[in-house]
Structures are given as structure tokens and as C-alpha cells.
């Protein structure tokens, strides 16, 4: 038995929600009561958690007695129900983009800015998956050498867009192998055997929302409004695991590749996988199911003494979503904020 904590998972039947349950079980998260919520469609579904059967219920405003509500059911559900949960005394950890850029809402990656949790007013936002893994790897370097500029290109898996996107990757891949016609429904174009340089909608400035999320959230989490950030976000036919090619310019001209490796080797939540002589580097297929962020291919820029290139990979449903949310809940407990 825990400390009487009542946890609700909103979107429990989704790609993120399922990983949320797996993570709560893996971490032996202490709680007395667990409520699983979804839309009307899945209400009544039976789910086994730690050997006990639970029935998924339709999410309504009833959050009576809930201490921690983990939301991953889309931005509109969060906008409608998160304030209702807070009104009834719950702390919300929200996985959607609904509140991330609100000034009064902490946007937290515990390895980077756990202390921002102290300022919460009921809702804590979980950043975008691509942002989380990048800032987790960059923060230890920023602490050691300062940081001026980041340019990132992403190679993102379809599971970031939910279970229907995963189904579409499989059914389209099968169709292509069978030489049948393909009709995209979830992704904007055929994703099987393709690469799509669009995630989320376009803004007027030519960047997509996914790219702007990476740019704005990185500055907020690192408390560096002056940091120069540019992003190009690309979807690949991979089920799970986001990869990123990152170019970073440090303040200092003194860092070496060995310095960066030794810092990242000891950094929390980071696994260094970097040995070109043995062809060792991170790949999404190896990162699936793991909580860490994997970093490799660290090289010095050939023109700028303060410029470095690296390759950052993580499971987008774990550190990118469910694990970071549960980690925030663990931090709230450790800091006695819940």
C-alpha cells in the first residue's frame, strides 16, 4: 500500500497511456487507487495492471479524490478537463501541447529543471517528445560550457501520432509489398517507404508546429530566451524511437570531444553509445523499451572550434512521454509537493 495516493490516467487506452501503465508498474509507483479513463469508445474495456483487473471509464469532470492525473488524450480533452481536475484538488501532469507555453505553467524535464515544479499552480506540462530528449542531452553540456546555438533535424517515429498511425504504417507497408494502392489517412502522405518533412500543421513563417514546439519549449525549459534554435522535423517509417541530428555551438572554445563524452557518460538519464572504431552509435531499434536518452556520433565541427555534432535517440513514448510524466510525478512526491 502507498500513501493513500489516487492516480488517474486520462487516455489510458492510447499509445502513450499504455506506456504510462507499463511505466507505473515498472517503477513500482506507490498508490492506493488507480482510475483509468478514455473516451466513450473504449469505456468498459478491461485492463490488467499489477495482476488486478480494471475497467476503463469514460472521462468526465469527476476527479473527486484524485491526487495525480496523468493526461494524454489530446489537447482538447486537457483544455476541457485538466482545470476541472485541479478544481477538485488534483495535480495534473499534461502530455499535450495545450498548456506548455503558458507563462504560469512549469514545463519540466526533471534532469534539466526539476526546481520549476515548486512554482506549479495545479498543472505541470510535459514537453514535446523531440524536445525532451534533446534538452536532456544538451543541459549537461550547457552547464559545463554555456550554449549559443542549436540546429536540429529529427527522424521521428509514427507512434508519436498515436495507435492509428502505427496501424497505418503496418497496413501501408503490407499494401506496398503486395503492390496495392495506398491511401493515406492519418499521415499527410504515404509514410511506408517514404520520408515526410511535415509533422503537425504549417505556421505562416514556413515552420511546422512541431518545429516551433522544439524551438519555443527548448528556450523555456532551459530558461534561455536568447538561445538560437532552429529545427526541421521529419517523419520516417519507424514504429517507435525518435532520432535527432543536433549541431550545437557552445560559449566556450575550449571543449574537446573527449570532454563532452566524459560529461555525458556521467549525466543523469543519458547513456553514451559512441565508439566509431567498433561501429557503436545509438539507433531507435535499440532504444525501444528503454527510459534513457542515447547519445553518440559526437564530432567537432570542422570549421568552428565551439561547434559540435551529435546523434540523439530515445523511445518517444517513454522519455518522450510516459516516463517523463511518471518521473515528474516521482519528483512531486520526492519534493513533498503532492
Active site residues: 129, 242
Select from 47-55, 156-164, 175-183, 303-311 the region that touches ligand 12T (CB under 6 A).
Answer: 156-164
- CA–CA distance, 330 with 268 (Å, rounded to integer): 15
Out of 25, 32, 41, 170, which residue is the one contacting ligand NAP (CB under 6 A)? 41
- CA–CA distance, 293 with 307 (Å, rounded to integer): 21
Residue 11 CB, nearest approach to ligand NAP (Å)? 3
Select from 49-57, 154-162, 223-231, 264-272 the region that touches ligand 12T (CB under 6 A).
Answer: 154-162
CB-based contacts of 1: which residues, under 8 Å, 6+ apart?
A: 30, 32
Q: Which string of b and e fits 279-308 if b means at least 16 CB within 10 Å?
A: eebbebeebbebbbbbbbbbeeeeeeebbb
Out of 8, 17, 111, 182, which residue is the one contacting ligand NAP (CB under 6 A)? 17
Task: Give the one entry of ligand NAP, ligand 12T, none that residue 199 binds, where binding means its C-beta sits below a cut-off of 5 to 8 angstroms depending on kind.
Answer: ligand 12T
Contact 240, 318 (CB under 8 A): no
- CA–CA distance, 272 with 213 (Å, rounded to integer): 26
Q: Applying CB under 6 A, does 199 fall inside the site for ligand 12T?
A: yes
Q: Applying CB under 6 A, does 14 fall inside the site for ligand 12T?
A: no
Residues 209 to 268: which contact ligand 12T by CB under 6 A? Answer: 210, 213
Residues 115 to 144: which contact ligand 12T by CB under 6 A? Answer: 128-129
* 221 grid coordinates: 525549459
338 by Cβ neighbours in 10 Å (0-12 / 13-18 / 19+) ranks as middle
| Closer by beta carbon to ligand NAP, 129 or else 191 | 129
Geometric angle at alpha carbon 141, from 314 and 297, rounded to 5°: 50
Select from 35-43, 172-180, 189-197, 265-273 the region that touches ligand NAP (CB under 6 A).
Answer: 35-43
What is the distance of C-alpha 250 from the center of its chain? 25
- CA–CA distance, 79 with 94 (Å, rounded to integer): 10
Residue 45 CB, nearest approach to ligand NAP (Å)? 7
Residues 90 to 119: which contact ligand 12T by CB under 6 A? Answer: 96-97
The residues that touch ligand NAP, with contacts defined as CB under 6 A, are 11-17, 38-39, 41-42, 59, 72-75, 77, 95-96, 126, 128-129, 160, 162-164, 320-321
Amino acid at each position: 500500500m502507498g500513501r493513500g495516493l489516487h492516480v488517474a490516467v486520462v487516455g489510458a487506452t492510447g499509445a502513450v497511456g499504455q506506456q504510462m501503465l507499463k511505466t507505473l508498474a515498472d517503477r513500482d509507483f506507490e498508490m492506493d487507487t488507480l482510475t483509468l479513463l478514455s473516451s466513450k469508445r473504449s469505456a468498459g474495456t478491461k485492463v490488467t495492471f499489477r495482476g488486478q483487473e480494471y475497467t476503463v471509464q469514460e472521462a468526465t469532470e469527476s476527479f473527486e479524490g484524485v491526487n495525480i492525473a496523468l493526461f494524454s488524450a489530446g489537447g482538447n480533452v486537457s483544455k476541457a478537463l485538466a482545470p476541472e481536475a485541479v478544481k477538485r484538488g488534483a495535480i495534473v501532469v499534461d502530455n499535450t501541447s495545450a498548456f506548455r507555453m503558458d507563462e504560469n505553467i512549469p514545463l519540466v524535464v526533471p534532469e534539466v529543471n526539476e526546481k520549476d515544479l515548486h512554482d506549479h499552480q495545479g498543472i505541470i506540462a510535459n514537453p514535446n517528445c523531440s524536445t525532451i530528449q534533446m534538452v536532456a542531452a544538451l543541459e549537461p553540456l550547457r552547464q559545463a560550457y554555456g550554449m549559443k546555438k542549436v540546429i536540429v533535424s529529427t527522424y521521428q517515429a509514427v507512434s508519436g501520432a498515436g495507435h492509428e498511425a502505427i496501424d497505418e504504417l503496418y497496413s501501408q507497408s503490407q499494401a506496398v509489398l503486395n503492390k496495392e494502392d495506398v491511401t493515406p489517412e492519418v499521415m499527410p502522405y504515404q509514410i511506408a517507404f517514404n520520408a515526410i518533412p511535415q509533422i503537425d500543421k504549417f505556421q505562416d513563417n514556413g515552420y511546422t508546429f512541431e518545429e516551433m514546439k522544439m524551438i519555443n519549449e527548448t528556450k523555456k525549459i532551459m530558461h534561455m530566451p536568447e538561445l538560437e534554435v532552429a529545427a526541421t522535423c521529419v517523419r520516417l517509417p519507424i514504429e517507435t524511437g525518435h532520432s535527432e541530428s543536433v549541431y550545437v555551438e557552445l560559449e566556450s572554445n575550449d571543449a574537446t570531444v573527449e570532454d563532452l563524452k566524459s560529461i555525458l557518460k556521467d549525466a543523469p538519464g543519458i547513456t553514451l553509445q559512441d565508439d566509431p572504431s567498433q561501429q557503436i552509435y545509438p539507433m531507435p531499434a535499440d532504444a525501444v523499451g528503454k527510459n534513457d536518452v542515447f547519445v553518440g556520433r559526437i564530432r567537432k565541427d570542422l570549421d568552428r572550434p565551439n561547434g559540435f555534432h551529435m546523434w540523439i535517440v530515445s523511445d518517444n513514448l517513454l522519455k518522450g512521454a510516459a516516463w517523463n510524466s511518471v518521473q515528474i510525478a516521482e519528483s512531486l512526491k520526492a519534493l513533498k509537493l503532492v
